[in-house]
Chain A
Amino acid sequence: MLPEGMYYFSGNDASAEGALAAGCRFYAGYPITPSSELMERMAARLREIGGVFVQMEDEIASISAVIGAAWAGAKAMTATSGPGFSLMQEAIGYAAFTETPCVVVDVQRAGPCTGQATKVGAGDIMQARWGSHGDYQVIALSPWSVQEMYDLTVRAFNLAERFRVPAMLLADEAVAHLRETIKISDAKEIWDRKKRTGASPFGTDEEDGVPPMPAFGEGERLAVTGSTHDDWGFRKTDDPDVHARLVARINEKVLRQEQAIGETESSFLEDADTAVIAYGFTARTSLYAVKQLRKEGLKVGLLRLKTLWPFPESAVGRAGGCVKRILVPEMNRGQVAGEVRKCVRCDVEPLGLTNGEVVPPDAITDALRRMAR
């Protein structure tokens, strides 16, 4: 991987480098703005360091190849944007139900549909959580800088491996195309999936609820299926207990770790009576707005969500307990605002902007001033 040092990168490039640093050696993808540069960098770099890159015929094939490679032992990823993310949903459910670690980067653009392909948006937050059918969990992280495109990609791989779950980097066009200097250091914690010869790959008594995961070709004679299965992978398509137990475990193993997975960052919240809760690029303009209003003497602060799924209920609940009101600016019509409402009792005001542009600081300061009155 890259030697320690300072690098001037776009967000997409940084995410690719983070993936490689985390041990990713397989990439399958399909071109789509605004994520294509990530794929192009992976094509070049995997060739250099001896991994596998393949451009597939569509996004369904891409995520399918990623899952196949993951079971062959790879740390594997794909990247896409809205329309491609939609196509991937069935297979994301497959990854969740078969407990396949993999990473999906979704560089969000202005939807719905083809929308404004080169413009920014954050409309896929709920899709990331609920896009496939049935009850399942994923992990989703939200970077606000080029540095975090790198760091959170590493973290996405670590969490995917640790919990055997699809992990997503829910980036946005603004962060992906931003260029900044970032610091790459060797002192990164790297997780690898647990392995235990002869152990059941789809059931465990261990407290974390995460079974060990062997790879194909290791002599474990794996039986992997997206149908309901017992601890050894045998299809059990009409046993209510097996189904209930499996669905509960794949959900609980993630939800129980909400506090360990959930990362947030607060600024000026100690004495604040009004909080801004924001994520992704919007957290940058939010912080700027908060600093402006602090100069005017308004008691406002910012809670920045670095994790979106599982929703960081504990941190949001704590913040909500200390303030009178919360503003949630975001590049969609209130997707995270709705989640915040579920965690707090105070007033929550959404500030949803869906014009293909970032939420400007003025819009946030205006809303906060109005709320303070």
Chain B
Amino acid sequence: MTRAMEQYLRPGVKATPFCPGCGHGILMGLILRAIDQMKMDMKKMLFVSGIGCAAWIPSPHYDGDTLHTLHGRALAFATGAKLYNPDLTVMVISGDGDLSSIGGNHLIHAARRDIDLKVICANNMIYGMTGGQVASTTPVGKKTATTAEGNPYRPFDLGRLVTAAGATYVSRYSVTQPVSLINSIKKALRHKGFSFIEVMSPCPTQFGRRNRLDKPEDLVADLMERCIPEEDAEGMSEAELAEKIVTGEILPCRE
């Protein structure tokens, strides 16, 4: 993170809590750049998170109001705060496990209500904090602490899930696509409705080392190769697409 972003960090916050090579730290900086470019008033920003490594992206680091809640429940807490005080800009930043597994029901209902919440899901495809168990976002065949033989079940396609549930701005990017991601976060900040941005974030400690991507740079290189923009995905066969993560706007918002 550049020094220019330090003004958005809470005084007293010291070192990053994330492992070397973790994408959550990159995301932490990218969100702040979007906030900076949008000239948001941090005094009116509320950052809500659940439990997990990703939940520590805003809490307590961001120098606005931060609400670090319970595992899975961030969206329900955020709904209460936003409904009572609509002047708050409420951003929910949490993990894939938090938002889509234990919190899956709150996710589809918050999308259905289309309340103005800006949701950023840091998807490392695993339960990072608890030691790398399989998640509802782990690809088929990937090894985790609870699927030594490879995950037998299909992951959620989060973008399609929340789109079907009624979200009004949906996108997916990787931390390896910083410019597009910042622009997408800015769109979410402008959008008055339920926005959902899935952010692919590498987890070398728990995901990489079990899937032959030991070094952080291997995982980043893998993500860069697998994350392709929609344009490039057109015309690719299903077999080719199976290994890819298509990024871009899944549901553009009306501006």
A residues within 8 Å of B by Cβ?
Answer: 25-26, 28, 52, 54, 56-58, 60-62, 64-74, 76, 90-91, 94, 215-227, 232-235
Contacts and interface: CB of A to CB of B under 8 A. Distances in A.
23 contacts: A64-B69, A64-B80, A65-B76, A67-B80, A68-B69, A68-B81, A71-B81, A72-B80, A72-B84, A76-B80, A76-B84, A94-B69, A216-B65, A217-B44, A219-B43, A224-B65, A224-B67, A225-B60, A225-B68, A226-B68, A232-B12, A233-B60, A235-B60
B88 A60 contact: no
B68 A68 contact: no
A68 B60 contact: no
B85 interface: yes
The 8 closest A-B pairs by CB, nearest first: A68-B80, A65-B80, A64-B76, A68-B77, A69-B80, A223-B60, A225-B68, A61-B76
A64 B81 contact: no
Instruction: Give the interface centre of A58, A60, A91, A217 by most chain B CB atoms within 10 Å.
Output: A217
B79 interface: yes
A76 B79 CA distance: 13
Q: Interface residue tally of chain B, by bracket?
A: 20 to 34
A25 B68 CA distance: 24
Contact of A90 (B48, B70, B85, B87): B70
B209 interface: no
A219 to B, nearest CB: 4
A327 B65 CA distance: 52
Nearest to B88: A217
Nearest to B105: A57
Instruction: Give the interface centre of B68, B76, B83 by most chain A CB atoms within 10 Å.
Output: B76
Contacts of B73: 60-61, 64, 91
Instruction: Give the interface centre of A56, A220, A232 by most chain B CB atoms within 10 Å.
Output: A56
Interface string B45-79: 01010000000000110011111111001001111
Nearest to A65: B80
Given A56-B76, A60-B73, 10 more contacts: A61-B73, A61-B79, A72-B85, A72-B88, A216-B67, A216-B88, A217-B65, A218-B43, A224-B65, A233-B60
Given A217-B65, A221-B64, A73 B70 contact: no
B106 interface: yes
A217 B82 CA distance: 11
Contact of B10 (A60, A61, A223): A223
B65 A222 contact: yes
Nearest to B85: A72
Contacts of A76: 80, 84
Interface of B: 10, 12, 42-44, 46, 48, 59-60, 63-70, 73, 76-85, 87-88, 105-106, 109
A222 B66 contact: yes
A52 B83 CA distance: 7
A217 B46 CA distance: 8
Contacts of B10: 221, 223
B81 A234 contact: no
Contacts of A233: 60
A56 B109 CA distance: 8
Contacts of B81: 68-69, 71-72, 216
A355 B69 CA distance: 39
Contact of A68 (B44, B63, B78, B109): B78
A340 B83 CA distance: 43
A224 B66 contact: yes
A217 B88 CA distance: 6
B83 A69 contact: yes
B137 to A, nearest CB: 21
Nearest to B89: A217
A56 B69 CA distance: 17
Contact of B84 (A62, A73, A235): A73
B41 to A, nearest CB: 9
A50 B135 CA distance: 42
Instruction: Give the interface centre of B43, B60, B79, B80 by most chain A CB atoms within 10 Å.
Output: B80
A68 B65 contact: no
A74 B81 CA distance: 9
A76 B77 CA distance: 12
A67 B85 contact: no
A160 to B, nearest CB: 16
Instruction: Give the interface centre of A65, A68, A70, A72 by most chain B CB atoms within 10 Å.
Output: A68
B67 A61 contact: no
Instruction: Give the interface centre of B10, B59, B83 by most chain A CB atoms within 10 Å.
Output: B83
A82 to B, nearest CB: 21
A335 to B, nearest CB: 27
Nearest to A232: B12
B60 A64 contact: no
Contacts of B68: 223-227, 235
A225 B71 CA distance: 12
